[in-house]
Copies of this chain bind each other. A is one copy, B any other.
């Protein structure tokens, strides 16, 4: 029985098939929350939800700056020692986008307007969001409104809007008001822990405002966290029609108004530049200057160059990162081109939300919505990092540097929960634990091992030993210390090293003993720490001296880590022949799947946590995830057994499961199931499977979609730095191709039904891979076709 059946996406063809675009051909007010996420544009530093330029209608008119947040004191029903104290919530910052249009004094308002034509396009090659509207005013004027906006990948502080108006059937007076406002809409939601808590009161307070020519700059400061932000707008206007403008500013509001005597058929072209600078990356006193400089530079560069740079950036991105998929059979209810489109949109959202991170992570929703309050979780390390490591390793490195920058906070956190070493926060923006519910938060100690896992993968794929020696080693020492201190040698378990009272990935089985995933991942962490520190020590390098200074690591610790790893308990049930998710998993009460109607899912919204926790029911792939991440630790037969035991117990209540279930289904030889789960991962957002896309995209499932293609169907594996392929295309996929960066060389993998062509880029140095279990030497610039 496949629980996931309940989650198969409805066939909603609201986005017509287009391999490189997401198009909306009519105004769908009832889908507005969803499309605000789907049409979001971002660059990892700043993000714009897919709102209309008029500012409304909107579910949430949102602009987010990564790591720009407000703090607040967490209130508990009943507090206890060591509970996280300070909440962090991403602030919806100054709105710099709004452009209002008045034709013959009639305001353009999508909700009331008579719309003769509507088309919105997210162009994933150009990196732009375009809209074309034909508006028939009550007075009978036909007005064409075109816009194209983008968040620049090249200039991370910059957004650009090209706005064009034309009255088709008459002359007419019109006004264009370009606005900047400190509205700060962070709506408060209740009853769904996955949403953000929002703010009841205004927390983004005006500090300064100025207007000068066509330029307005507003400065704000957050109430409690005291973070400062400047938002500047500037304009260029180009038209044959007579035009006058005036600008003004006041605290929290600024505008530049263009009064135009529009002539029949003559376009009025307005370019609006929007820039953000915050006190996180600039001196607080210089924010206005920096905003001004960015606007100067944008004006000098000009719209057309900015657009061209954007295209170049994405051409380069796609060359490295695209996954091309094709076939002649439908994927269940989806056509191959539809799959191609969805896959590209997923990858496009990843680059949008990670390209320009710097001292930041990638939140669970990226910058597309305020769900989960903009917090960074393990989603990035485990689900997004593989894609970045193998296609955009520099971004992967930036994310690791960010984790490293949080190490001191992690040391403090370990202390705060009575442990040695370092404990990375389960959810955070600023490095402090912000989880206010330990059972499905703080108890997920596996975050430590997840971060190390990503780091190890990065080092193995890029051979960036320098990162490992100068930063990774220090992270390894402190995380290994945490594990050693957390676990213990249990007499009751024959002297095995046990880790009790933790929560694994699955949040429906909390505070358990010996979670298989945690123990396996901790073991990797311990071993990698021992290996790395040993090597450094042997080499007696400067880095080792440095490590000693920073961690005072002792020789005996290395041995202790190894022993703990060797003796690590890996729970297994002999009778059923399966690995146990945790010691007590089989003892849970069978869950009454039969009498639980579909509308009682996700379970967490309809059942007391205790009811869920005592039941044999799973939210997130847990053993199954371990079998994917540490695939070489399980035999094929064992994977099959485990997979078919746990899969029917797994609800579709988490967006983190479907991709992993798909990969394992592919691996154990169940292509039909692999396709089904794969589609679920792929369409998580475009088909709004979780019914919460309005709160932002599911960034983990996006990385997961890439993994389904690469690890699942191409059968890629990368355990311990060995790169292997075991292609297993399902019948629906007749052709699948993509690039991977392996040891700094670009490899093209081109899979067809029955054969695979490997092509190592011309300026490579040669590479050994495995194909279907056999070692293969690849020469630079040569294509190798293998059956």
Residues of A within 8 A of B (CB): 74-84, 87, 190-191, 193, 416-419, 435-443, 488, 490, 492-493, 498, 500-502, 511, 513, 583-584, 586-590, 604-611, 613-614
Contacts and interface: CB of A to CB of B under 8 A. Distances in A.
Contacts of A606: 81
A435 B587 contact: no
B498 A610 contact: no
Interface-central residue, A443, A501, A613, by most chain B CB under 10 Å: A501
Contacts of A419: 611
Given A500-B588, A501-B614, A584-B583, A82 B609 contact: yes
Given A498-B589, A513-B584, A584-B584, A604 B80 contact: yes
Contact of A77 (B436, B511, B584): B436
B77 A437 contact: yes
Given A500-B587, A500-B589, A513-B614, 14 more contacts: A75-B75, A76-B77, A76-B436, A76-B437, A77-B437, A80-B604, A81-B605, A81-B609, A416-B608, A418-B607, A419-B611, A498-B587, A501-B614, A511-B610
Contacts of A613: 501, 511
Contact of A443 (B418, B437, B438, B610): B610
A87 B79 CA distance: 14
19 contacts: A75-B77, A76-B76, A76-B437, A77-B84, A77-B435, A78-B435, A78-B440, A80-B193, A80-B609, A82-B611, A416-B608, A418-B607, A438-B608, A443-B610, A488-B589, A488-B590, A492-B586, A500-B587, A584-B584
Contacts of A416: 608
B609 A78 contact: no
A435 B76 CA distance: 11
A492 B580 CA distance: 13
Nearest to A439: B439
A604 to B, nearest CB: 7
A522 to B, nearest CB: 15
B608 A80 contact: yes
A78 B418 contact: no
Contacts of A587: 490, 492-493, 498, 500, 513, 583
A504 to B, nearest CB: 14
Given A501-B614, A587-B583, A608 B418 contact: yes
List the 7 closest A-B pairs by CB distance, nearest first: A77-B436, A501-B614, A82-B608, A78-B437, A500-B614, A417-B608, A75-B75
Contacts of A583: 584, 587
Interface-central residue, A87, A437, A614, by most chain B CB under 10 Å: A614
Contacts of A74: 77
Could you tell me the dominant secondary structure of chain A's interface residues? loop
Interface-central residue, A75, A435, A608, by most chain B CB under 10 Å: A608
A128 B628 CA distance: 74
Nearest to A586: B492
A83 B77 contact: yes
A124 B693 CA distance: 68
Contact of A607 (B81, B442, B502): B81
Contacts of A500: 587-589, 614
A180 to B, nearest CB: 35
Contacts of A605: 81
Contacts of A437: 76-78, 80
Contact of A604 (B81, B191, B438, B513): B81
Contacts of A513: 584, 587, 614
Contacts of A418: 607-608, 611
A771 to B, nearest CB: 44
Interface-central residue, A81, A513, A583, A613, by most chain B CB under 10 Å: A81
Nearest to A443: B610
A513 B605 CA distance: 24
A566 to B, nearest CB: 19
Nearest to A78: B437
Interface-central residue, A77, A82, A83, A614, by most chain B CB under 10 Å: A77
A250 to B, nearest CB: 34
A583 B492 CA distance: 13
A79 B191 contact: yes
Nearest to A613: B501
Contact of A442 (B75, B191, B610): B610
Interface-central residue, A191, A500, A502, A610, by most chain B CB under 10 Å: A610
Nearest to A501: B614
Interface-central residue, A502, A513, A589, by most chain B CB under 10 Å: A589
A106 to B, nearest CB: 45
Contacts of A191: 79
Contacts of A438: 608-610
A513 B441 CA distance: 22
A606 B82 CA distance: 8
A441 B78 contact: yes
Nearest to A445: B610
Nearest to A441: B78
A654 B500 CA distance: 24
Contacts of A607: 81-82, 418
Interface-central residue, A76, A80, A418, A439, by most chain B CB under 10 Å: A80
Interface-central residue, A418, A502, A583, A609, by most chain B CB under 10 Å: A609
B584 A193 contact: no
Nearest to A76: B77
A643 B248 CA distance: 81
Nearest to A75: B75
A571 to B, nearest CB: 11
Interface-central residue, A190, A191, A492, A586, by most chain B CB under 10 Å: A492
A220 to B, nearest CB: 27
A442 B438 CA distance: 16
A111 B587 CA distance: 63
B78 A501 contact: no
Contacts of A586: 492
Nearest to A418: B611
A588 B440 CA distance: 20
A717 to B, nearest CB: 34
A87 B441 CA distance: 24
